[in-house]
Structure 1
Amino acid sequence: MQKEWMEVSITTSSEAVEAVSGILYNTGIKGVSIEDPKDIEIEKKRPQDWDYFDEDVLKVKDGAVVKGYYKDDENFEKYLKYIEDKVNNLGNYGIDKGKGTVTVNKVKEEDWENNWKQYYKPYRAGSRVVIKPIWEKYNPKRDDIVVQLDPGMAFGTGTHETTRMCIKSLEKYIRPDTRVFDIGTGSGILAITAAKLGAKYVTAVDVDRTAVESALKNIKYNAVENIDVFQGNLMEAVCGKADVIVANIIADAIISLTEDAEKFLVPGGIFISSGIINDRSQDVVEKLKGSGFKIEEINVDGEWVCIAAKKDDMK
């Protein structure tokens, strides 16, 4: 029996694509796709030697349609009202919302899958890391690290700003002898990236059984053997201490996690936290400092923040 999903379509400007996607990620979203009306025209103009997808190419003047997919449950109307209010208010932040229309349709699961897959292409997430959907071809460049992903419909494709910033931080902090804990692993994208960057051992945890199953599947696609995946939270699922902990979740969860993260890091270890909306970044910074961390760097992409903090060497 096919499942039905609620498809929310926002017609907006290309300038507002990231902001609109961010609005959707603040709700109970189960998947996001971005459609551009000039995809075909751009494909015709694309140089033959391009072998990876650059999302900036899709920012054309005529705008785009951002689609979000939701379960048809008691929370949907609340999410829809939130989306409509936030899209209408984009102009207050100096962002051109374009038409700014929000429409809703019911779609079958199979139709959704066919829809979003055609817009998900290989893309460069860091200086070396390229994320490639398993159904696409990609010719790697020298020194490329290719992560193959089938995110399924319950997880993002890895193109979100928070994921990109985490990947860039992992590129910076992973060393050959590094042990990594990935908290809230989802599709496993960050755990797999850490392993392919040379981490010695990776533990990935998530409270959601579907996430654990998705991560295990993607680990097999990438043929990495130094990752263990567990269902549960940090305290329940891991033992020992890590050199790097990465958590791409939300600000409130990071604040709750911070004291435990400090206990599970070696002295001088790095805590990479993302999924933080700009308005909450100072709350996270204060919690980190109060828990014995030194802020190493704060990176911002659109409305989102990624913080890398170092545990006190003396603890």
Structure 2
Amino acid sequence: MQGKWIEVKIVTTSDALEPISGIFYGLDVKGVAIEDPRDILEREQGPLSWDFADINIFEYGKDAAVVKGYFNEEDNISEIEKYINDKIDELKEMGIDVGEGKVVIKAVFEEDWANNWKKYYKPTKIGEKIVIKPIWEEYSPKENEVIVEMDPGMAFGTGTHETTKMCIEALEKYVTRDKTVFDIGTGSGILAITAAKLGAEKVIGVDLDPVAVDSAKNNVGFNDLNNIEIRYGNLMEVINGKAQIVVANIIADVIIFLCQDVKKFIEKDGYFICSGIIRERKDDVVNKLTEEGFNIIEVNTLGEWVCIVAKM
């Protein structure tokens, strides 16, 4: 998909990434990207680092995080800007520290956007054996490593965010060859593809964003898989049957909303892996899961983020 896009960027803090990202999901956004300085610093200090000099994420200060939403040229950007500013004001009234809360709008070409990603998106090892590798990077796998080839394009999901890392680690722990896995809000397809690469019998990824669906399908092709399918639409409308594992890396409010209906799609003794939850919302999600009859198996944290593994 080529062409010109309108990039709407919100300058915020790492701790406010979830509610700020949620603003975009209330709009007809065509893609969302999150840049968290904590991810950059962690990667630079780790064994698989990128060229730190190439990163422009610190344009607004080393503690500033950025959420970007991408819209069509034909969209009413003035209305979108007003909606976003109103929502930022609401978050401030709720006592959420959104940092600068600045909104920056500019036109970008998709080719330029993609090339900016390529400057700092490098192979990343997660858990015991998963390596997320951009398709344009060379990497020689070590013994027992599982390579997941990715080009995130305009879709969310590169593997660098804490929530994605924790979900991948949970999948590595619970996926076996007899398992069916559903990935809700698949984005770039990174979790669905990881589950398929780990040997799941069948994987279905679903997303309401057609840009994400296209991205996920392309990424499936890069990995030459025959045990995975990507579908456009709502989980409740495009999937029949049940899985032993359902994973959702979204935001706390959506997970809470899903808790009741997702039970219909999980086998007895199956697992619901959910993340995208900031620490302050952990108890809300745990309480809702418990209320719906789930047993909480794990509550893992990384940075300010939480991943919960619950069992039916």
**Fold conserved between structures, TM > 0.5:** yes
Contiguous gaps of at least 5 residues in structure 2: 25-30, 72-76
Q: How far is the alpha carbon of 1:262 from its aligned partner?
A: 1.6
1:104 paired with 2:104, answer yes
Q: For residue 209 of structure 2, what is the aligned residue in structure 1?
A: 208
Q: For residue 34 of structure 2, what is the aligned residue in structure 1?
A: 32
Answer whether contact 1:166 1:190 (CA < 8 A) is retained: yes
1:119-151 CA distance string (max 9 Å, x none):
211112322111111111112121111111111
Percent pairwise identity: 45
1:237-270 CA distance string (max 9 Å, x none):
2222211111111222212222222222121111
Distance across 1 between alignment mates of 2:50 and 2:147: 15
1:139 paired with 2:135, answer no
Q: TM-score, structure 2 length as denominator?
A: 0.78
Distance across 1 between alignment mates of 2:51 and 2:85: 26
Distance across 2 between alignment mates of 1:276 and 1:218: 25
Partner amino acid, structure 2, of 1:164: K
**Cα RMSD (Å):** 3.7
Task: Tell which deviates more after alignment, 273-282 or 170-179.
Answer: 273-282
Partner amino acid, structure 2, of 1:234: L
1:74 is paired with a residue whose SS is helix
Distance across 1 between alignment mates of 2:125 and 2:51: 9
Q: Considering only CA atoms, is the larger Rg found in Structure 1 or Structure 2? A: 1
Distance across 2 between alignment mates of 1:33 and 1:115: 12
1:115 paired with 2:116, answer yes
Distance across 1 between alignment mates of 2:270 and 2:79: 42
Q: TM-score, structure 1 length as denominator?
A: 0.78
Task: Tell which deviates more after alignment, 202-211 or 105-114.
Answer: 105-114
Q: 1:122 to 1:84 in 2, by over 3 A?
A: farther
Q: For residue 53 of structure 1, what is the aligned residue in structure 2?
A: 49
1:134-178 CA distance string (max 9 Å, x none):
111112121111111111123242322111111111011111211
Distance across 1 between alignment mates of 2:308 and 2:161: 16
Q: For residue 248 of structure 2, what is the aligned residue in structure 1?
A: 247
Partner amino acid, structure 1, of 2:276: G
Q: How far is the alpha carbon of 1:308 from its aligned partner?
A: 0.4
Answer whether contact 2:192 2:205 (CA < 8 A) is retained: yes
Distance across 2 between alignment mates of 1:113 and 1:21: 22
- Counterparts of residues 1-315 of structure 1 (less than 5 Å): 2-6=3-7, 8=9, 10=11, 18-19=14-15, 24-28=20-24, 30-33=32-35, 52-53=48-49, 63=62, 66-70=65-69, 71=71, 72=77, 74-79=79-84, 102=102, 104=104, 106-109=106-109, 110-311=111-312
How many residue pairs end up in the alignment? 291
Q: 1:82 to 1:267 in 2, by over 3 A?
A: same
Partner amino acid, structure 2, of 1:135: W
